Amino acid sequence: MNRTQLIQTIRQKRSYLCVGLDTDPQLLPVSFARTAEGVLQFNKAIIDATRSTCVAYKINTAFYESLGAHGWTVMEKTVGYIGDEHFIIADAKRGDIGNTSYQYATAFFSQMNVDAITVSPYMGEDSIKPFLTFPDKWTIVLGLTSNSGAGDFELLNCDGAPLYEHVLRKVSSWGNPSNLMFVVGATQADSFTRIRSICPDHFFLVPGVGAQGGSLGEISQKAMNKDVGFLVNASRAILYASSEADFAEAAAKVAEKYQAEMSTYL
């Protein structure tokens, strides 16, 4: 899905909701087996419950890689079940020397056929450039994250500015707003105005709304540009809205609530 298609989908659905499929077998409702097949069936039910209200899905690969070869099969089948009407993100946080990054990009863009992958910028330009060579695919670079450890490196003062600002400026020069996004955590709301001034046209992937306490209204006010310009990810708040037989209906209601609020900001 290219930039134009993503923006059109957001406008048509009046939503910028991304549903995170961080599916933990141990947290599945009791009616599901705590196996790879149980994860797949649960994913399908969540996707069916949220298709109409979200524009994107984010698959956190760690929850599938931990299941071994069966987990990779579940990822592939989940991507296939989502189809091509939603933006699909592999939350894999890859990043290595150039030839290794190219293999990671091939695995997710060509074999898994996702639209985007999250990467770490720590190793610099040659570790990210290979991802940017795939047409109509997106590289989502970690910028300012929502975890408590963000202060260890991202917020360090470097030449008068936080390190993450240097990352945003430098990485922006390697691609363009049609193939680069940045992860900016919702719990860092006070920084969004500054970040938007640095990256006026780029999309942001915003985790941290919902279970982590980020404010959808505050983020929408500070991060939105003329093309909306961001996707808000919600994972646990939707996936585990209920642990009972009504889990899908409960997930749908939470997603609908997010979409209804988002529509008021568009």
**Active site (catalytic) residues:** 93
Round to whole Å and give the CA distance between 186 and 18.
13
Q: Which helix (H) or strand (E) holds 263?
A: helix 247-265
Rounded to whole angstroms, the Cα distance separating 148 from 8 reads 35
DSSP 214: B
Give Cβ neighbours of residue 260 (< 8 Å, ≥ 6 apart): none
Distance CA 143, CA 113 (A): 24
The number of residues making up the chain comes to: 266
Alpha-helix residue ranges (DSSP H) falling in 130-242? 150-153, 163-172, 192-198, 216-223, 236-239
| Rg of the Cα atoms in the chain | 18
Q: What is the maximal distance between C-alpha atoms in the chain?
A: 55
